[in-house]
Structure 1
Amino acid sequence: MKLGCCASLWEDMILKLPAAGADYAEAGFSSLMGKSLDQVRARAAQLEKAGVSLESMNVLFPGDFRLTGPQADFSAVDSYLEENLPKAQALGVKVVVFGSGGARRVPEGFPQEEAFAQLVELCREHIAPAAAAHGITCCVEPLNQKETNILTTSGECFRLVEAVNHPNLQLLVDLYHFDLEGESLSALEGYRGRLGHCHIASAQNSRLVPQPWDGQDYLPFFQALAAMGYEGRLSLEGDTRGGLPQIRSSLAYLRQLIGQAAQ
């Protein structure tokens, strides 16, 4: 399993992640808006010089996009992806994360199943083919009910992935949201072959990245991933206000857990 950390693409912290033990970096896709391809290529050169492998990006859509309801605008999605996916490809990105809770939030009074059907169409006809054309896989992220009102569990997102049935649309599991929604780790076995990316932070500790002293037992999560044969990427996506020492400690701890889970 490869371990990474989320950071801003345009700030200096991302350049320091290799020193903290990160195998790769994850940045925000929507931060590509307004940047030229030349600007992105220049940043890619800086990342390469620093030894940073930018392999994943989150926040696929900014909050002002409308992806469900009567105002859903998939032509705007097409234009947005056409403009920005080449930039992600230039950075070497392999995975983009479709969380974007605000953009996918279902308007009050709009039928949930109709909104779900809209998201199936969005992913099948627009996101997955566009991502595939640039060698990228999109992973659908469940977000807890405080952040959005659709695709709030891994089971619901898995249903979407199965309905779309495209190799470039996969599932993401984020332990933070997973725990907040009270999901069972036994569900992970059913996602074998469909799980494309993972995030982790502590639901018990205000979304801090995991630490050996924080009181949460993460080993069952890694045991469940090992049991299903997951060997993909897992990113720290949480509070890293402690900077590089905190990130370094967390990544080292996760590597210990991976080793224990393999026994």
Structure 2
Amino acid sequence: MNKIGMNMFVWTMTMDENLSDTLSFLKTSGFDFVEVPINEPGGTPANLEKWQRLGQQLKALDLGVQSCTICSHEHSLISPDASVRRAAVDYLKQIVDCSKAVGSTILMGPLYAGFKTFTGKPATEEEWNWSVTGMREVAEHAQAQGVTLAIEYLNRFETYLLTCVDDLVRYVEAVAHPNCQAAFDTFHANMEEKNIGDALRKVAPYLVHVQISENDRSTPGKGHINFDEVFGVLQEVDYDGPIAIEAFGPNPPELAAATHIFRPMFESPEQLAVDGLAFIKSQLTPTTDAVDHLVGNRL
């Protein structure tokens, strides 16, 4: 059975705020886990203690946890500067350590390159090989820490190394490590795929995490993404892994600026969470017609 979670980006980028009431609200609302952003190096004891404390708080609430991160241009596995690539590997290893400290067994995100760092040209074979080599080292460390990397491709306006499911599958196969697998975000797929259902079928053998994100980054089910198809294929391929809502709002302001959110598109983060959870649960309870359709596809 799929666990359903909520990404914390509509409240925070750091988890430094007192989010006790929010976490309790998400638990009582019916969520199984939260997806916490970890965006600072975790090499110091104080930093690891922060995540250990949060992990204890979540455990007391009986609320599961996963983690996500992005890499800046200073921590990019495809930088032409070897020292930056080395810093990226070290940074990602520390993020893995923080993930373990908080209790997360899945770390997802566009770990392979610097976010919104462009050259104005397509990715080169050399950049590809740099990233694959670095990621294999990170995956080896992740395996030792009991963490699986879930690689997420982004749209063309946010990266240029992995921008579609074909890129993602080729990348995971190139890294060739059991702790380097795939994530799928419906927002990016809606922009970049010819057919979302076919994309999901292709990535299914490597899929360990799904983010449900509407075309305008607001409440799932309130936009134009064909979620009937998305959830139909997830059931068709017997995906039983975690599913998280990812949305963005006008806060935190630095994240709103990075994601180009200039107007509010939902009443409140809490209302978005409740409505999004109800929508996902409705999609995971197929109608008789949907069941007949899936059975027909398998015959």
Question: Which residue does the alignment assign to 1:118?
Answer: 130
* Cα shift readout 1:61-84 (whole Å, capped 9, x = no counterpart): 344312213114343234324434
Instruction: Mark the CA change 1:244 to 1:75 in structure 2 (over 3 Å): closer, same or farther.
Output: same
RMSD over aligned Cα atoms:
2.4
Instruction: Mark the CA change 1:113 to 1:188 in structure 2 (over 3 Å): closer, same or farther.
Output: same
Instruction: Mark the CA change 1:259 to 1:76 in structure 2 (over 3 Å): closer, same or farther.
Output: same
Instruction: State the SS of the aligned residue for 1:114.
Output: helix
Distance in 1, matches of 2:117 and 2:208, equals 23
* Cα shift readout 1:43-62 (whole Å, capped 9, x = no counterpart): 222222233211x2112434
The Cα of 1:29 is off from its aligned counterpart by 2.1
Instruction: Report the count of equivalent residues.
Output: 258
Distance in 2, matches of 1:104 and 1:114, equals 19
The Cα of 1:174 is off from its aligned counterpart by 0.5
Question: Which residue does the alignment assign to 1:169?
Answer: 180
Question: Which residue does the alignment assign to 2:240?
Answer: 231
Counterparts in 2 of 1:99-248, with a 5 A limit?
A: 99=110, 102-103=114-115, 105-108=117-120, 112-124=124-136, 126-184=137-195, 185-203=197-215, 206-211=216-221, 213-239=222-248, 242-248=268-274
Question: Which residue does the alignment assign to 1:250?
Answer: 276
> TM (normalized to structure 2)?
0.78
* Cα shift readout 1:160-219 (whole Å, capped 9, x = no counterpart): 00111111011111010001113311132222321111111111xx211313x5454311
Percent of residue pairs bearing the same amino acid type: 24
Partner letter of residue 16 of structure 2? W
Distance in 2, matches of 1:237 and 1:247, equals 9
Distance in 1, matches of 2:48 and 2:198, equals 43
Stretches of structure 2 lacking an aligned partner (at least 5 in a row): 250-265, 292-299
Distance in 2, matches of 1:62 and 1:249, equals 33
Instruction: Mark the CA change 1:111 to 1:25 in structure 2 (over 3 Å): closer, same or farther.
Output: closer
Instruction: Mark the CA change 1:249 to 1:31 in structure 2 (over 3 Å): closer, same or farther.
Output: farther
